Amino acid sequence: MNKWIITVLIFVIAFVLYNNKKEEGYQVIKPADAKTMLEQSKDVILLDVRTKEEHQEKHIGGSLLIPLSSLEKEAEKKLPNKEQTIIVYCRSGNRSKTAVNLLLSLGYKNVYDLGGINSWPYEIK
């Protein structure tokens, strides 16, 4: 019985450590907090990773468009400061999560996942 408990504890500890490392640096931000950050600092980049057509249809004002499909190629050119705060959004939250993880893997440090524009309760252009 004791060996079984120890085995389960080791498994749980390993699982927790693995998941914490996997999500290291990943940050989710609520719309209200993102809006505050954007209003308080001109140095925050709001990054839209949807397609050009989706961006033209509607977008959050002041956002920079880099579609997820070209983010890896264009990131260093369009986002040269890897210390700069970047808030990422898409339509529903799936692409933004992928984009945040990609940016973190490229060495960006202050990246936030806003999720989808569908959850943005403020003005949309």
Q: Are 47 and 92 in contact (CB under 8 A)?
A: no
Q: Percent of the chain at pLDDT above 70?
A: 80
Which residues have CB under 8 Å from 73's CB, separation 6+? none
Q: For the chain, which domains are there?
A: 26-119 (3.40.250.10)
What value does the mean pLDDT take over residues 31-42? 96
Active site residues: 90
CB environment 36-63: b (16+ within 10 A), e (fewer):
ebbeeeeebbbbbbbbeebbeeebbeeb
Please report which confidence band the pLDDT of residue 25 belongs to, taking 50, 70 and 90 as the band edges: low
> Could you report the per-residue pLDDT of 56-105, keeping only the tens digit for each?
999 999 999 999 999 999 999 999 999 999 999 999 999 999 999 999 99
d(CA 96, CA 28): 10
- Number of continuous H segments (helices) and E segments (strands) in the chain: 5, 5
